[in-house]
Structure 1
């Protein structure tokens, strides 16, 4: 029993020593990890700039008017908000998208143009926001504004109500909405750094050769009496 406890204590000590050695190993190879971090960041930044096409987003907003100008109860407010959500779906319907495509003389299919459009409605409001994402910032602005006009006409026709008012027209976006170059570069840099650390630790764990006299005592339980130094021969 005592022998078993002694072996377990010895095993725990060896684990602590191994963890300490791994820590010192990573500390000694810190320059390699930092170098891989920098290389990964450069690759992530350059790859994002070269391989990923920038996307620009432009937004317009319309205000959905109720059939009656006065709101008399909380139920009416909730009903108006629910209808606004329905209008968001209506704004992406085929008649609206195809009319926008026709008016702007675009060369997109219904599926392509619909995938570029996002209609959102903040809770407890009657405001619809149309966000158009495109590789061309000027075209994104034109589509967002035309979509607001066509959707307003369509909503008024379907609901037999007043035409929604344009709250905000889209402007030409000055900077891309995606990709996030800094985020991509940071992620790739961290992946490279973790990969470098993992390879260093893995090589250490798989290396079962005797490196020095401490390894002889640790793994074989023997004490060294003498060591033969190696000496390079000098050429005559």
Structure 2
């Protein structure tokens, strides 16, 4: 048996695609609103709000015998601040904080809740703690500052660790961001709905207009019979795709 294999190319009319999207714009917007609403409900019900408390300290280290702080002291202190940041998350410091506050967590869990930051070209060390309880976050931050201050003066032999800011008691959760989640949900819903419309448009190969007959069958249309408005289409009549119509014409 001889089989004919035809290479079909899919061409997309951008104008028709835009019109297809525009005709379903109400559904696309509705999908965006629905997904944004789902994001709002999910954020409120299933995501635990987290609070962040921040404390900062200043580490003073002198390399010479002079009473003042020299430029060399500043350079050395800036480089050592990176070491101090690692010391904040060291096991002895974390274990001491857990013991003092009687926390029900491991050192690994506490380490994940702690972030350290050093402002460029300064010796200011900032420690932030995230927790679902704002009061606990403040207590952990203060305990970390006190514990690491002792470790810095004993191990790193710093001259002094001065407190710049004590840990604050956060009033508003730092995460999750409700507005950001709603915006992401709305955009995702719009993109998904638009993608479905585009996919339906691409896969739809039914013959609808005289131009489709000329394009798919290569035949000239002599006339067309318009359907009167308000006339109900018979449920038994089904549209033929271009591929099925081509096969029937060949017979």
Q: TM-score range by the shorter chain?
A: 0.7 to 0.9
Say what the alpha-carbon RMSD is for the aligned residues: 2.3
> Structure 2 vs 1, CA of residues 228 and 197 (structure 1 numbering), >3 Å: closer, same or farther?
closer
Say if 1:59 and 1:144, in contact at 8 Å, map to a contact too. yes
Instruction: Indicate yes or no: 2:59 matched with 1:64.
Output: yes
User: Which runs of at least 4 in structure 1 moved beyond 6 Å after TM superposition?
Assistant: none
Alpha-carbon offset, residue 214 of structure 1: 4.1
What SS class does the counterpart of residue 164 from structure 1 fall into?
Answer: strand
The match for 1:46 is 41
What is aligned with 1:21? Answer: 16
Aligned to 2:31: 36
Report the alpha carbon displacement of residue 90 of structure 1 after superposing the two structures with TM: 1.2
Is 1:216–1:224's contact at 8 Å kept on the other side of the alignment? no
Q: Does 1:176 align with 2:176?
A: no
Question: Normalising by structure 2, what TM-score?
Answer: 0.80
Deviates more, 1:125-134 or 1:86-95: 86-95
Alpha-carbon offset, residue 216 of structure 1: 2.6
1:88 equivalent in alignment to 2:85: yes
Structure with more of its chain in helix, by fraction: 1
TM-aligned CA deviation for residue 46 of structure 1: 1.3
Partner of 1:7: none
The equivalent residue for 1:110 is: 107
Which secondary structure state, in structure 1, belongs to the residue aligned with residue 195 of structure 2?
A: helix
TM-score in terms of structure 1 length:
0.85
In the alignment, structure 1 residue 128 sits paired with structure 2 residue 125: yes
Which residues of structure 2 form unaligned runs of 5+? 1-8, 234-251
Whole-angstrom distance in 1 between the partners of 2:69 and 2:44: 51
Q: Which runs of 5+ in 1 are unaligned?
A: 1-10
